[in-house]
Amino acid sequence: MSEIAIETRNLTRRFGRVLAVDDLNLAVETGQVYGFLGPNGAGKTTTIRMLLNLVRPTHGEVFIYGEPVARNHGVLKRVGAQVEDATFYAFLSGRRNLEVLARISGVDVDGRIDALLAQAGLAERARDRVGTYSTGMRQRLGLAATLLTDPDLLLLDEPTSGMDPAGMASVRDFIKSLPAQGKTVFLSSHLLSEVEQVCDRVAIINRGRVVAEGPVSALLEQGGLSSLLIEAAPVETARAALAAWSPVDAAERPGWLYLAGAADDAPAVTQRLVEAGVAVHQVVRQRQTLEAFFLSVTGEGVVVEGAGGDAPGA
């Protein structure tokens, strides 16, 4: 059985009358990229701050690798974190900034700094002043900084904030490479398409409580939101043949239909169409996206990708 990197037991935090985190129970196994999702104000950033002992719980407890954080601060030496936007000395180079941070941390990493910069995709800009870096480059430098002490666990809050698609792809590859290096990643993000590609398991919270948790693949099987995309001719005959089966909608491309249904329905759907004299060219399963599932369990009308973290006190 895998070791538990993060465990929260009945974790609760109030700010006056506001219940920001409500009886939160999580268990994150080692070697995972674990997504932590929720609308603005759901309690994500507050939870991360409690994991780091920056905010004290009103009730409940946090354990890192089995150690209670509130009573054993030393276990946080095994943690690297990027909670806010990465901030560096603008007049120093990227490499020099990491050297300064290493010295402050009391670790000898001269032999690893170049490797970390390369891993972050900054090898060619390592000697340039950080003041010339884009937002995405500073975020990637921040990721490199979290690895300076060679932590076992990384807590990342919106690590792709402000990045262009190329920067996000670079960070995505960076994060996906970490479990192979023995790292565990706890990732909070609004970019649900990125989370879907990176995370092994996710928890979705709303109003401080977990509303869904599990492997990404299993969550996307829930909710009955999958469909079949069917190319058939004549398409109107196909629509009539399937109308009694399940709701049918026209697809964006001519000659295609959407049918609400699961992958297991494909053989029966194909048989029904053939019996109706319809030529079936393709039946493609359309799995619901993580965004669609997120909206279904949180009741949110809009996901603002790239937005900031929780509102103050959330």
* Amino acid 305: pLDDT: 36
For the chain, the domains span: 4-219, 226-287
What are the pLDDT digits (tens) for 256-292?
Answer: 887 776 667 888 888 888 999 999 998 877 666 666 7
Predicted confidence band at 182 (pLDDT cuts at 50, 70, 90)? very high
| Residues, the chain | 314
* Amino acid 139: pLDDT: 86
Give all strands (DSSP E) within 50-93, no chain letters.
Answer: 59-64, 67-68, 79-82
* Amino acid 89: pLDDT: 92
Residue 40: alpha-carbon gap to chain centroid = 14
* Amino acid 257: pLDDT: 85
Main-chain phi, psi angles of 241, to 5 degrees = -70, -30
Residue 101 scores a pLDDT above 50: yes
* Amino acid 112: pLDDT: 85
* Amino acid 223: pLDDT: 53
Instruction: Say what the alpha-carbon torsion angle 67, 70, 75, 79 is, to the nearest 10 degrees.
Output: 110
Of 163, 166, 33, give the one whose Cα is nearest residue 85.
163
Percent of the chain exceeding pLDDT 70 equals 87
Give the whole-angstrom CA distance, residue 146 versus residue 181.
14
Predicted confidence band at 22 (pLDDT cuts at 50, 70, 90)? very high
**Residue 187 in contact with residue 160, Cβ under 8 Å?**
no
Residue 304 scores a pLDDT above 80: no
Average pLDDT rounded to a whole number, residues 301-307? 38
Predicted confidence band at 20 (pLDDT cuts at 50, 70, 90)? very high
* Amino acid 196: pLDDT: 81
Domain 4-219 in this protein, CATH class: alpha beta
Domain 226-287 in this protein, CATH class: alpha beta
Residue 310 scores a pLDDT above 50: no
Helix (H, G, I), strand (E, B) or coil at 234: coil
Residue that the structure tokens 């103050």 belong to: 312
* Amino acid 308: pLDDT: 39
